[in-house]
Structure 1
Amino acid sequence: MSNILWAQRKGKKHYVGQNGRGAKVEIGMGENQFTPGELLQVALATCHTFSADHVFAAALGKDFDATVGVAAQKDERRDSYSHLTVEMVANLSNLSGEQVTQLRKKSQEAIDKYCTVGHTLDDGASYDFDLVSE
């Protein structure tokens, strides 16, 4: 298997995730760490905005400010998320009602076309786990 992404254990429920480009993220339950579920949520949220960034830039200007958030409804019994809601906040005050409607439509089309994380969740991706000796 390719080592495109990996996580190194640093302690009890503490890993450092890495990619081949040198980025690192602290994963765990402690201070300054993302839980795996939080990473999934932020991946979905940013996948949405990455997918439609060109649409937003065309309507709001190339240097537009935005914040994207995500909220999760958790099914405690299954220890899974039953629904995720993504919301982007940006200054739309310079757009007419029709322009906002068009921006919503075009951005959703881009998200539907390009958001790999959303497609993966929609498709119910399967996964495997294997334990390998060094």
Structure 2
Amino acid sequence: MTSQPASTPSVSVTRDGHRRFTGRSQRGGVVAIGDKSYPDTFTPGELLKVALAACAGFSAEQAITRRLGEDAAVAIEVGGDAHATEDRYDVLTERIELDLSSLDESARARLITVIGRAIDQACTVGRTLEAGAAIERTVEQLDADA
């Protein structure tokens, strides 16, 4: 594996079997990754969608809780179908569900605007996808003695 500066969080995956991996964060987080034949896993595409949804939630949380309270229920769904012939998504759709019944129409509109701005400004995952980040890849010899 390539070493990264200490300030850059990294994740890793290790192969557990045919089309099945375990993902790990430096902080000890673990996630099961597999193709659709494994019901207890996330596919890589699902993880991408989860990352986008969570990033939107993190980015909008302060605006939401400030206006709706610390116990405000928030559900974020990200969907999107893979391109028919290319292994990629053309469009990812993001839907945020909130109980806005305590707000008048003006306050609802303002909150919706603030949520959009917060996500556009602070969601690293969304901003990275929109910018089309480059991927730098290396393949290295496994050290058999390690």
Instruction: Place the TM-score, normalised by the shorter chain, in its bin.
Output: over 0.9
- Look up the match of 2:89: 81
Q: Does residue 8 in structure 1 map to residue 17 in structure 2? A: no
Give the secondary structure class of the aligned counterpart of 1:80.
coil
Moved over 6 A (4+): none
In structure 1, C-alpha distance between the alignment counterparts of 2:47 and 2:96, rounded to whole Å = 17
Bigger mean CA deviation after superposition, 1-10 or 17-26: 1-10
Structure 2 stretches lacking a partner, 5+ long:
none
Structure with the largest fraction of strand: 1
Q: Percent identity?
A: 34
- TM-score (ref. length: structure 2): 0.87
- Look up the match of 2:52: 44
Structure 1 stretches lacking a partner, 5+ long:
none
- Look up the match of 2:121: 113
In structure 1, C-alpha distance between the alignment counterparts of 2:39 and 2:60, rounded to whole Å = 32
Q: Which has the larger radius of gyration?
A: 2
In structure 2, C-alpha distance between the alignment counterparts of 1:88 and 1:10, rounded to whole Å = 34
- Look up the match of 2:30: 24
The Cα RMSD (Å) is 1.2
